[in-house]
Structure 1
Amino acid sequence: MTADAVGGVWDYALELARGLALRGIRVTLAVMGPAPSPTQRAQATSVQGLDLRHGDFKLEWMEGAESDMAPAGDWLLDLADHVKPDVIHLNGYAHAALPWNKPVLVVGHSCVLSWWRAVHDAEAPTNWRPYADRVSAGLVAAGAVVAPTQAMLDALETHYGPIVNGKVIWNGRNSANWQARVEKEPSIISVGRIWDEAKNIRVLDGVAAELDWPVEVAGSWRSPNGGSTEDAPTANLRRLGQLGPEELADRYGRASIFALPARYEPFGLSILEAAMSGCALVLGDLPSLRELWTGAAVFVPPDEPATLSRELRRLIAEPDRLRGLATAARQRARGYGTERMVARYLDVYADLVDAPRPVTPHREIAAVPLGR
């Protein structure tokens, strides 16, 4: 299984690997991009039998990734030759077109073209065309394609063409790790990659001064591409930095409201964690989030600060409604548990292993060689 240590894919991969381990399935986690932090390595060590490997290669969506595609592909193929897996599970796209001798699953957590459309309301610049070609070829080569929401699966088809064997499997979290306090504090929390424009933290900062409750934000301000928004002015937010799992769970458990006026969010593990922790949800009005949380969240247009401010102030002023929304979110979150996610992936793996092997080679990617 491939992964990265940049964002939610890391948490998703460990959650899935832990569930698979309980069923006697061994996972080799091939992490590319920035190396896992000491905290992340400790998390990985807690997963029984997990074989963690790191390859110092840029992720396919990073600037300058083209030169790393071929050596990363060789590294993955060599690793597969060594561990001899039954299934190749790629949390990325391009390397599905490598000459694997085992069935390949691609999971589409996000992509540059749909991100660009959501954040900039325009098509991605032409310099992203080689990336798009590699993604398209990987989707064609995969034995199956999974997305965490129908909205994300639809986005892949919109930008890269028809997907023959596409499935939706919701991401999951273990609710035992996320608990609400009996007495919530009068506070609002937001969690995510703060450097990512899609999270829209600037809008939240803009309205925080109008609220009677403090707004706390946890997450990284440093982009894996090397840039940082750490020095950018956010006068009205309490910056918590990047928190470890236990401290983050404590912060969720204390907060009354989780706010994320996102412009783009194919699933949102932080939203699920907050819901499991008894937070009322105020979210960007996106098809993916409506798919998951309709009836259990307040939705606001991402670029309407006045609406965001009004809805947050309304929840603060109406404690009964606040509690009702928190209860609804927590009940909805029960449907997004680890057990269900693992069972669905086991079904997909079984279908892949039983499927007839292709008799023709995978389609090549002309723009950049991916490996041997």
Structure 2
Amino acid sequence: MRHQTGQTERVLMTTDTLGGVWTYALELCRALAQHGVTVTLAAMGGEPSPAQRAQANAVAGLRLEARPYKLEWMTDPWDDVARAGDWLLELAAAAQPDLVHLNDYVHANLDWQRPVLVVGHSCVCTWFEAVRRESAPAEWSRYRDRVGAGLGAANGVVAPTHAMLRGLERHHGRLPGAQVIANARRARDWPAGAKAPYVLAAGRIWDEAKNLAALARVAPRLAWPVGIAGQARHPEGGGPLLEQVELLGCLTPPQLAAQMARASIYALPARYEPFGLTALEAALAGCALVLGDIESLREVWGDAATFVDCDDDDALAAAITALIDAPPRRADLAQRARRRARRYGPSAMADRYLDRYRQLCDAPARTQTQTQTQAHRSVT
């Protein structure tokens, strides 16, 4: 970053409007604003909702730009990806950022002429490995190549967990200088309330990775009602039909916080979850956590959650029932989760990103440009 007295630091950041990356980006932008950093946030994947625009408008120094370009993991996205690249370069020319922070992969090999940080929030290849227990099929070869090229072009790579970072390296090669910076949520936005006999889940219901269909299957066996918040339909159409649970729809953050404040148990039997922001929100709100027994969630939560085999409906039902039947155990688990959740605060996240930004911006400009130019040539 530039360090002249009075110089405003500027970042161009990408995001999408479809889920956790938006949440992460807004939280980070808000924390960066406390350090005088102004952000141009380029959102893709769909038009921001009125609630999302209101969120962005509430962040000091944030300028939201949006285009409904397809994301790199969507069906036949490459014409849109190319148009999005042209648009992003136009935004960079206008904003003159000191650094480009990409929450996608393939645009890292554009000719930015400034340092580029790529943050890996998820990946189709790691998704197939975890969810389908197989390699991504041949139709994803172009995606794999483009993601690998983007990671290779980046001046720095970050992932929210060591598990996610190892997954990226398994599928796309070693990433020298990569590091882990955990995601975060602001504790005061997720207050605990008077707890009710109620089990809650939240996430993209259409995404097999969340495995929310398993929770719906066991719901009739539970003594408490189950509610699931989130988008039921895939952005490109289709989605599961869940019965025996209350579908709450897409909630605004305050609406979701109200649900979490009253829920006693939060269940996310995920097959794939590179970090798990909704679990963090639920823990801050005082919920006991029942989570899929996967490497990333173990890394984030340690002994502060109950973990279940995501393929074992009986184990999921038993774990939730055990907490329903044992209020002291449930209260202890909720307390441990809330205490651990406070490790993942926005101030610490912003400090670590600012350190990484400065490292990248202080690196020789020649090295930055050569890295991007070589990678750009490799895919053109």
Please confirm whether the aligned pair reaches a TM-score higher than 0.5, indicating the same fold: yes
Equivalent residues of 2:111, 2:376 under 8 A apart: no
Equivalent residues of 1:137, 1:365 under 8 A apart: no
Q: Give percent identity, aligned residues only.
A: 53
Equivalent residues of 1:278, 1:330 under 8 A apart: yes
Match of 1:227 in 2: 237
Equivalent residues of 2:157, 2:178 under 8 A apart: yes
Match of 1:50 in 2: 62
The equivalences for 1:4-83 within 5 A come to 4-83=16-95
* 1:87-108 Cα shifts (integer Å, max 9, x gaps): 0000011110011111000000
CA distance in 1, matches of 2:253, 2:81: 32
2:15 match: secondary structure: strand
Does the alignment pair 1:193 with 2:201? no
1:3 match: secondary structure: strand
The equivalences for 1:1-372 within 5 A come to 1-181=13-193, 183-224=194-235, 226-229=236-239, 232-357=240-365, 358=367, 360=370, 361-364=373-376
* 1:54-110 Cα shifts (integer Å, max 9, x gaps): 123111111111122221111111110111000000001111001111100000000
How many pairs does the alignment contain? Answer: 364
- Measured at CA, do residues 365 and 219 of structure 1 come closer, stay the same or move farther in structure 2, by a change above 3 Å? farther
Which ranges of 4 or more aligned residues in structure 1 deviate by more than 3 Å?
none
CA distance in 2, matches of 1:233, 1:159: 33
CA distance in 1, matches of 2:233, 2:59: 27
Equivalent residues of 1:92, 1:107 under 8 A apart: yes
2:64 match: secondary structure: strand
* 1:172-205 Cα shifts (integer Å, max 9, x gaps): 0100100111x31010000001110111111101
CA distance in 1, matches of 2:378, 2:166: 25
Equivalent residues of 2:149, 2:378 under 8 A apart: no
Q: Cα RMSD (Å) of the superposition? A: 1.1
* 1:150-174 Cα shifts (integer Å, max 9, x gaps): 0000000000000011000000010
The one-letter code of the counterpart of 1:40 is Q
The one-letter code of the counterpart of 2:257 is A
Equivalent residues of 1:99, 1:362 under 8 A apart: no
2:289 match: secondary structure: strand
1:363 match: secondary structure: helix
Equivalent residues of 2:109, 2:153 under 8 A apart: yes
The one-letter code of the counterpart of 2:76 is G
* 1:220-270 Cα shifts (integer Å, max 9, x gaps): 01212x2132xx432211111111111110100000000000000000100
Unaligned runs of 5+ in 1: none
CA distance in 2, matches of 1:59, 1:235: 30
Deviates most, 64-73 or 34-43: 64-73
Unaligned runs of 5+ in 2: 1-12
CA distance in 2, matches of 1:102, 1:362: 14
CA distance in 1, matches of 2:306, 2:127: 22
Equivalent residues of 2:159, 2:179 under 8 A apart: yes
TM-score by length of 2: 0.94
CA distance in 2, matches of 1:228, 1:177: 32
The one-letter code of the counterpart of 2:223 is D
CA distance in 2, matches of 1:172, 1:156: 21
